[in-house]
């Protein structure tokens, strides 16, 4: 983000509109993620929890915290009534960076759990599936410890903006600044962060591609077993495939848009209000939209399970088409 100029951002007539839109985005996303938690809780009250159920709950909690932190940052960018102290600056920016790292890690974990669950015919992966159901909390703990250590630099480098002008810090909001790092440290940090993010997206791409392949093969094999009436409707395999592709593809698109806007804004010497607004909307995009995709799929999952129960069919014959199992 370029150097912050409050006269160029905070007091423009459009800043009121931008602040309202940011608040609307944060409120919508937080409400949707809260609703998602209730949907998962309602499902778990009647069924045995699976790795993806807890992973989805974990992702929703992370997104709620991330959106709230982004709401505070947006309020400070587009005109805060009171200046922040060091503690508030460190807390808000640390939580924002921490939850962003946890979001991509948890999304990757969700895609891997889904791929492992679908591969029921492989005995080795089937054993891993059972283990992951019992030890996914340990995975969450490792993710938290790793991302907390990576994000800890924000606890040191984030400060309340002093009343002096200096090249040793970069103003990022009206109240908060970051101590600038040397070129070498910035290059090392950027390279490691990029490598980590690209690796996670690579895992997501491989697992998502594998799931699509398995679901497509299952669809072809099951066409001969379904009645004509069922064939007229969209199959559960198609709905599961659609949800997987939509969620993972949307994440990748939002990630690269965020990288492009951040890189472009970093080239500017002063912050552009419209660019800041777009950067915050894109940053909130995945956390705001993803719960709607998951809620829709979860509703269809419950309906499909009720249909199977009503028809007297065995649940195990259809678990392969459940993207959340």
Interval 157-166 mean pLDDT = 76
Contact 179, 157 (CB under 8 A): yes
What confidence score (pLDDT) does residue 67 get? 93
Q: Convert the pLDDT of each residue in 267-322 to its tens digit.
A: 665 556 677 778 888 888 899 998 888 887 665 555 544 444 454 444 334 433 34
Count Cα neighbours of 218 within 13 Å in the Cβ-side half-sphere. 22
Q: Count the helices and strands in the chain (H runs, E runs).
A: 10, 3
Count Cα neighbours of 27 within 13 Å in the Cβ-side half-sphere. 6
What confidence score (pLDDT) does residue 317 get? 43
Q: Convert the pLDDT of each residue in 134-144 to its tens digit.
A: 567 888 899 99
Which helix (H) or strand (E) covers residue 140, if one does? helix 123-151
SS3 of the chain: helix, strand, coil, percent, to 5? 75, 5, 20
CA angle 45, 48, 53 (to 5 degrees): 85
Which helix (H) or strand (E) covers residue 179, if one does? strand 176-179
What confidence score (pLDDT) does residue 296 get? 75
Contact 59, 140 (CB under 8 A): no
Task: Provide the mean pLDDT of the chain.
Answer: 74
Contact 78, 15 (CB under 8 A): yes
Interval 34-53 mean pLDDT = 73
**Is the confidence at residue 30, as pLDDT, over 60?**
yes
Residue predicted with more confidence, 76 or 120: 76
Highest mean pLDDT among 11-25, 36-50, 170-184, 185-199: 185-199
CA distance 80 to 248: 35
What is each CA distance from 217 to 118, 213, 222, in whole angstroms? 12, 6, 9
Domain count, the chain: 1
Two tokens at 126?
Answer: 């089937």
Share of the chain above pLDDT 70, in %: 65
Least confident of 75-84, 110-119, 145-154, 316-325: 316-325
**Is the confidence at residue 7, as pLDDT, over 80?**
no
Q: Convert the pLDDT of each residue in 189-233 to its tens digit.
A: 888 888 898 899 899 988 888 888 877 777 776 665 555 444 445
Range of the domain at 52: 6-321
**Is the confidence at residue 325, as pLDDT, over 50?**
no
What confidence score (pLDDT) does residue 102 get? 94
213: three-class secondary structure by DSSP:
helix
Interval 237-255 mean pLDDT = 76
What confidence score (pLDDT) does residue 128 get? 54
CA distance 188 to 196: 12
CA distance 232 to 223: 11
What confidence score (pLDDT) does residue 277 get? 76
**Is the confidence at residue 79, as pLDDT, over 80?**
no
In a domain, 1, yes or no: no
CA distance 279 to 7: 19
Instruction: Classify residue 61 as exposed, middle or buried by CB count within 10 Å of its CB (0-12, 13-18, 19+).
Output: middle
Share of the chain above pLDDT 90, in %: 15
What confidence score (pLDDT) does residue 147 get? 93
Q: What is the CATH number of the domain that holds 39?
A: 1.20.1070.10
In a domain, 190, yes or no: yes
User: Which among 49, 45, 113, 35 has a CA at the least distance from the CA of 323?
Assistant: 113
CA distance 71 to 25: 9
**Is the confidence at residue 125, as pLDDT, over 80?**
no
What confidence score (pLDDT) does residue 323 get? 40
What is each CA distance from 177 to 142, 160, 304, in whole angstroms? 30, 6, 51
In a domain, 45, yes or no: yes
CA distance 155 to 168: 17
């Amino acid at each position: 983000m370029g150097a912050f100029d409050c006269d160029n951002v905070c007091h423009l007539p459009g800043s009121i509109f931008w602040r309202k839109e940011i608040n609307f985005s944060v409120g919508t996303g937080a409400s949707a993620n809260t609703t998602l938690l209730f949907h998962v809780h309602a499902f778990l009250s009647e069924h045995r929890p699976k790795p993806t159920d807890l992973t989805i709950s974990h992702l929703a909690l992370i997104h709620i915290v991330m959106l709230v932190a982004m709401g505070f940052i947006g309020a400070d960018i587009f005109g805060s009534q009171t200046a922040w102290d060091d503690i508030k600056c460190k807390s808000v920016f640390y939580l924002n960076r921490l939850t962003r790292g946890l979001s991509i890690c948890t999304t990757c974990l969700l895609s891997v759990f889904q791929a492992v669950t679908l591969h029921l015919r492989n005995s080795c992966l089937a054993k891993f599936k059972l283990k992951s159901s019992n030890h996914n909390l340990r995975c969450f703990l490792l993710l938290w410890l790793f991302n907390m250590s990576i994000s800890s630099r924000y606890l040191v480098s984030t400060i309340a903006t002093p009343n002096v002008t200096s090249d040793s810090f970069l103003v990022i909001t009206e109240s908060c600044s970051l101590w600038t790092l040397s070129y070498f440290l910035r290059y090392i940090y950027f390279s490691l962060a990029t490598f980590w993010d690209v690796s996670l997206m690579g895992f997501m791409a491989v697992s998502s591609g594998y799931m699509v392949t398995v679901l497509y093969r299952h669809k072809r094999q099951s066409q001969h077993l379904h009645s004509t009436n069922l064939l007229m409707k969209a199959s559960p395999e198609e709905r599961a495939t659609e949800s997987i592709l939509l969620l993972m593809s949307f994440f990748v698109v939002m990630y690269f848009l965020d990288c492009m806007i951040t890189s472009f804004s970093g080239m500017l010497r002063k912050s552009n209000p419209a660019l800041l607004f777009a950067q915050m909307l894109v940053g909130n995009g995945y956390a705001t939209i993803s719960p709607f995709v998951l809620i829709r799929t979860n509703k269809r999952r419950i309906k499909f399970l009720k249909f199977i129960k009503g028809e007297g069919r065995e649940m195990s014959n259809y678990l392969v088409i459940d993207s959340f199992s």
